Amino acid sequence: MTNHLYDGLLANASGERLFATIPGAKPRYYSYQHVSDVSAKLANQLVALGVRPGDRVAAQIPKSIEALMLYLATVRAGAVFLPLNTAYTAHEVSYFVEDATPRVFICDPKDTAAYSDMAARLGSRLETMGVWQSPDEDAGSFLADPDGWSNEFETVPRGQDDLAAILYTSGTTGRSKGAMLTHGNLLSNARTLVELWQFTQDDVLLHALPVFHTHGLFVATNVLTLAGGSLIFLPGFSNDTILEHMPKSTCLMGVPTFYTRLLDDERFTREAAKDMRLFISGSAPLLAETHAAFERRTGQRILERYGMTETNMNTSNPYDGDRRAGTVGPALPGVDVRICDDNGEELKRGDVGMLEVRGPNVFNGYWNMPEKTAEELRPDGWFITGDLATMAEDGYVTIVGRGNDLIISGGYNIYPKEVELVIDEQLGVRESSVIGVPHPDFGEGVVAVIVVDTQPFDVELLQRSLGEKLARFKQPKRIVILDELPRNTMGKVQKNVLRESYKDSFA
Ligand code: MCA
Ligand code: AMP
């Protein structure tokens, strides 16, 4: 038996071919042989720390090739990878560690003090891993002695139904849910995307996304690895580095903010984009006007696709064929999508309803939450996405809204309930309502509307305590104090009224 995901992903990898370039004053080049060697070294280290098949390995570490190798090492060891957003605070992280009980939790060396008590209390072994770029940087305990570990590792056999990763996604109740993804989920999706988007060994992807979410970790990395192509691996997004490396690249995967920022830069011209064969957008809605402006500027049409943490990718505009602005294209080959009413009855084409998905990409359920799983995953395999959509006669899907209050800011998801719970804890706050309104850079920006017991109210104190508990991207960019929240006759807060009132907050 093979290791379904690891062996599958590296099936086309050939030893000395380039896997990644890390640009810089002293560029680093990483071959597929390195991938095999370094993931073996890290897998040996994990096993030495007591990691057994099925154990969770959690990591909140800076973006680096070694972070990708840790993902592959975990898969090779038969364990389950749990990547965590580097913006999460210790308060947020402790929930994930408590819920997932990882055997090992690996953090940034600078965060050791913040996490050592928590790891000891929860019985996780704490290790550290920095960016292994130069001798001056703190490589952390995990990378401190790379030569001390063998580059031979007997990869643990795993089948397609075994778990490969748990990725947490925020919930409507404020509690995050761990989506359990199998080897089969990840490999089948990567195979479909390689074929559909025509990735080959000749592709060079500009990788500017974080590697703790589906987009940067699975869509970008799995697809390029499976194709045997290579990455230009950047620490994050900036117009300068993207434009510098575009002439050596063939494709970019990004959230809409990447594309609006590029369009704001006059250096981004048809000439600058001429060697690129593909620009892909996802994680948040790409405005049709951005699509049109991009085509006017470069002569190329962005390919928009749609996915979720629970399902990887579900639909995509075609590679050859009509990339229709404002739509996310038809279902991927092998994936079924339908638009339903609340009872799961399919609606006729053109009607707005709940988007449901079924296929080999759909996850196994939420970690430790059978009741949540039952609410969202029907017994016959259809997953209720929470997205409202329509489907045209020819199968093209348009996302028109969300059935819940989810805010998507620069490609990161924020559930208002989670922010409201933290605000409501603050002394002097009677109640709050958190909404997303248009933001020129992030698509949506977070606004908190609060009602307080007495004036004057110390907004700065509130901001400080939000800062201790919530990742920066979730914190409201504007706080408004009102005498009362608008409610309907049932007593429910009218978020649509608030969204209308504050729609120009960031105009
Ligand atoms: C940074 N800030 C943000 C965000 N990013 N605030 C709200 N939303 C954000 N996304 C804060 C910073 O902390 C800072 O706060 C201020 O905004 C300005 O930061 P800036 O330097 O401009 O931001 P940046 O570092 O350039 O980051 C922007 C970014 C980044 C490049 C758009 O957010 C990003 O990489 N987003 C991609 C997220 C992603 O990978 N999503 C995929 C999820 P202050 O100045 O006040 O300190 S996977 C998924 O969704 C599904 C499955 C799918 O379909 O792919
Ligand atoms: P996540 O919680 O990170 O898994 O984000 C998944 C959500 O992102 C989906 O449920 C959609 O609401 C949204 N999303 C992803 N891609 C697109 C897209 N191309 N257009 C609109 N929304 C999208």
Question: Per residue in 51-93, pLDDT tens?
Answer: 999 999 999 999 999 999 999 999 999 999 999 999 999 999 9
Q: What is the pLDDT of residue 179?
A: 98
- Is 250 touching ligand 2 by the criterion CB < 6 Å? no
Going by alpha carbons, the residue nearest to atom 44 of ligand 1 is: 472
Please check the confidence at residue 130 and state whether its pLDDT lies above 90. no
Distance from the CA of 89 to the center of ligand 2, in angstroms? 23
- Is 376 touching ligand 2 by the criterion CB < 6 Å? no
Ligand with the closest atom to the CA of 436: 1
Average pLDDT over residues 414-441: 95
Out of 169, 257, 413, mutate this one to test ligand 1's pocket (max ligand atoms within 8 Å of CB): namely 257
**Residue 158 and residue 182: Cα distance in Å, rounded?**
10
Residue type, 501: S
Please check the confidence at residue 498 and state whether its pLDDT lies above 90. yes
Going by alpha carbons, the residue nearest to atom 41 of ligand 1 is: 411
Q: What percent of the chain has pLDDT over 90?
A: 91
Average pLDDT over residues 428-435: 96
Ligand with the closest atom to the CA of 409: 1
The residue with greater pLDDT, 145 or 48, is 48
Q: Are 85 and 212 in contact (CB under 8 A)?
A: yes
Please check the confidence at residue 455 and state whether its pLDDT lies above 90. no
- Is 399 touching ligand 2 by the criterion CB < 6 Å? yes
Spell out the alpha helix ranges (H) of 199-351.
223-227, 239-245, 256-263, 288-298
Question: C-alpha distances in angstroms, 20 versus 29, 203, 404, 430?
Answer: 6, 11, 39, 52
Q: What is the pLDDT of residue 147?
A: 84
pLDDT band at 454 (very low <50, low <70, confident <90, very high): confident
**Residue 67 and residue 130: Cα distance in Å, rounded?**
9
DSSP 332-400: PTT-EEEEE-TTSPBPPTT--EEEEEESTTS---BTT-HHHHHHHB-TTS-EEEEEEEEE-TTS-EEEE
Please check the confidence at residue 104 and state whether its pLDDT lies above 80. yes
Measured torsion, CA atoms of residues 255, 257, 258, 262, in degrees rounded to the nearest 10:
150
pLDDT band at 420 (very low <50, low <70, confident <90, very high): very high
Least Cα distance to 65 among 130, 156, 161 occurs for 130
Average pLDDT over residues 279-287: 97
Question: C-alpha distances in angstroms, 71 versus 10, 307, 367, 505?
Answer: 14, 21, 19, 40
Atom of ligand 1 nearest to the CA of 410: 10
According to DSSP, the residues that pair with 408 across neighbouring strands are 413
**Residue 35 and residue 58: Cα distance in Å, rounded?**
20
Average pLDDT over residues 302-326: 97
Q: Are 415 and 445 in contact (CB under 8 A)?
A: no
Residue ranges lining ligand 1, Cβ < 6 Å: 209-210, 213-216, 236-237, 255, 257, 282-283, 307-309, 409-412, 442, 472-473
Distance from the CA of 402 to the center of ligand 2, in angstroms? 9
Neighbours of 8 (CB within 10 A): 21
Out of 255, 316, 355, mutate this one to test ligand 1's pocket (max ligand atoms within 8 Å of CB): namely 255
Average pLDDT over residues 337-355: 96
Q: Are 100 and 86 in contact (CB under 8 A)?
A: no
* Residue 254 parent element (H or E): strand 251-254
Distance from the CA of 370 to the center of ligand 2, in angstroms? 23
- Is 230 touching ligand 2 by the criterion CB < 6 Å? no
- Is 405 touching ligand 2 by the criterion CB < 6 Å? no
Least Cα distance to 368 among 171, 143, 183 occurs for 171
Average pLDDT over residues 179-185: 98
pLDDT band at 134 (very low <50, low <70, confident <90, very high): low
With tokens 């969770």, the residue in question is: 56
Out of 237, 328, 335, 362, mutate this one to test ligand 1's pocket (max ligand atoms within 8 Å of CB): namely 237
pLDDT band at 13 (very low <50, low <70, confident <90, very high): confident
The residue with greater pLDDT, 227 or 141, is 227
Residues contacting residue 33 through CB under 8 Å, at least 6 positions apart:
15, 16
pLDDT band at 137 (very low <50, low <70, confident <90, very high): confident
Average pLDDT over residues 228-247: 97
Q: What is the pLDDT of residues 249-265, one digit of tens each?
A: 999 999 999 999 999 99
pLDDT band at 443 (very low <50, low <70, confident <90, very high): very high
Q: What is the pLDDT of residue 497?
A: 96
Q: What is the pLDDT of residues 157-166, one digit of tens each?
A: 999 999 999 9
pLDDT band at 389 (very low <50, low <70, confident <90, very high): very high
Please check the confidence at residue 133 and state whether its pLDDT lies above 70. no
Q: What percent of the chain has pLDDT over 70?
A: 99
Least Cα distance to 69 among 37, 95, 97 occurs for 37
Q: What is the pLDDT of residue 496?
A: 94
Q: What is the pLDDT of residue 188?
A: 98
Q: What is the pLDDT of residues 195-219, one digit of tens each?
A: 999 999 999 999 999 999 999 999 9
Average pLDDT over residues 171-187: 90
Average pLDDT along the chain:
95
Average pLDDT over residues 100-117: 96
Q: What is the pLDDT of residue 282?
A: 98
